[in-house]
Amino acid sequence: MRGTHATLAASAGATAELIAQQLSHDPQMTKLHYMADGGLDLTAEQIAEELPPLHDDDDDDD
């Protein structure tokens, strides 16, 4: 989950310093790991597409 958080935060425009602070990392390591070329392999939209739905609309057993 920490990697997902960092990736989503970086793709949303958060700075390396802010992400590093949230993860208790060094900002340089955060830049290299999450923000270097190729570090953001997936966008927030691509990650959301891979997640299961929050609820099932077809489950109307009322």
pLDDT digits (tens, 9 = 90+) for 29-47: 887 777 765 555 556 676 6
pLDDT digits (tens, 9 = 90+) for 14-31: 888 998 899 888 888 887
CB 10 within 8 A of CB 47: no
Q: What per-residue confidence (pLDDT) applies to 21?
A: 92
Q: Which two tokens stand for residue 18?
A: 């802010």
Q: What per-residue confidence (pLDDT) applies to 47?
A: 65
Q: What is the length of the chain?
A: 62
CB 12 within 8 A of CB 41: no
Half-sphere exposure for 42 (CA within 13 Å, toward CB): 14
Give the closest residue to 35 by CA, choosing from 59, 54, 16: 16
3-class state of residue 50 by DSSP:
helix
Residue 11 scores a pLDDT above 70: yes
Residue scoring higher pLDDT (11 or 47) = 11
